[in-house]
Amino acid sequence: MTRTSGRTTRTTAARPALDSVRFALDRASPVPLYHQLAQQLEAAIGGGVLAPGDLLGNEVDLSGRLGLSRPTVRQAIQSLVDKGLLVRRRGVGTQVVHSRVRRPLELSSLYDDLEAAGQSPTTDVLRLETVPAPAEAAAALGLPEGDPVTVLERLRRTHGRPVAHLCNYLPASLLDLDRARLESTGLYRMVRAAGITLHSAHQTIGARCATEREAALLDETPGAALLTMTRTAYDDTGRAVEYGTHIYRASLYAFDFRLLVRP
């Protein structure tokens, strides 16, 4: 049973995925019905009501359930297909895929941001060791080249799918990093737990194509589009405490910017 603008449409073959979604389509609203439907489906996907892999049925099923025309449903579905939230599968119907991660651009841990967004983050620690500081990391951290630094390499997943490859350098004397804790929490939580106050960062965002190794790690094809980020974080004394080089799957990840107009 589905309620649309005060009217109830009954169907004989209920779809379990859509049974958990309560639609409220206002036919008197100036907002087009296809846009209302798209917004409510997107909210259900973003809120976890519709999970990756859930089937929504085909356009005929959906139009019958919601009392809408097929072109209206088709336009709503296409808008979410274009956003990468739904996919059409021949012989199967419309299926929910993993939602794109949208991250605010601020000094925060990717793990914390994903957890707050309900993205079920997990971490594979690929490397954790003390090495002589390479030139780029040494310059960012204000250390002589070759000084000992802790290098941390991780693969971050959401809902089991790889979304980011993270490589971080920290002064070796800064804190002790535990592999088990790194797999269950974010780096910045561990930094703060050690009594270090993160104050500011310098960050650069770019884009490039995936190498063969990066593509294999991120379950992409070689040459696929990647977002890149380099960041140097500073504590409240102005000391550089972390230098990171991160890559993200552009198909699953985006940065959100808020721009203010100067008077």
The count of structural domains within the chain is 2
Residues 112, 166: one domain? Answer: yes
pLDDT of 236 over the 80 cut: yes
The last residue of a domain, from among 70, 96, 122: 96
CA 256 – CA 248 distance, rounded (Å) = 14
CA 164 – CA 228 distance, rounded (Å) = 10
Count of Cβ atoms closer than 10 Å to residue 33 Cβ: 21
In the block, residue with structure tokens 């085909």: 58
Residues 105, 232: one domain? Answer: yes
| pLDDT band per the 50, 70, 90 thresholds, residue 247 | very high
- Among 80, 76, 55, 53, smallest CA distance to 66 is for 76
* pLDDT tens-place string over residues 140-194: 999 999 999 999 999 988 877 888 999 999 999 999 998 999 988 888 888 888 9
* pLDDT tens-place string over residues 84-115: 778 777 777 788 876 555 544 444 555 555 55
Residues 163, 186: one domain? Answer: yes
Residues 120, 92: one domain? Answer: no
The last residue of a domain, from among 61, 96, 131: 96
* CATH number, residue 17: 1.10.10.10
Distances (CA, A) of 157 to 54, 68, 115, 248: 20, 37, 11, 11
* CATH number, residue 144: 3.40.1410.10
Residues 18, 148: one domain? Answer: no
Residues 32, 80: one domain? Answer: yes
In the block, residue with structure tokens 């005929």: 60
CA 167 – CA 106 distance, rounded (Å) = 18
Across 189-220, b (16+ Cβ under 10 Å) vs e yields: ebbeeeebebeebebeeeeeebeeebbebbeb
Domain that holds residue 68: 2-96
CA 57 – CA 91 distance, rounded (Å) = 10
262: in domain? no
Residues 149, 25: one domain? Answer: no
The pair phi, psi for residue 185, each rounded to 5°, is -155, 180
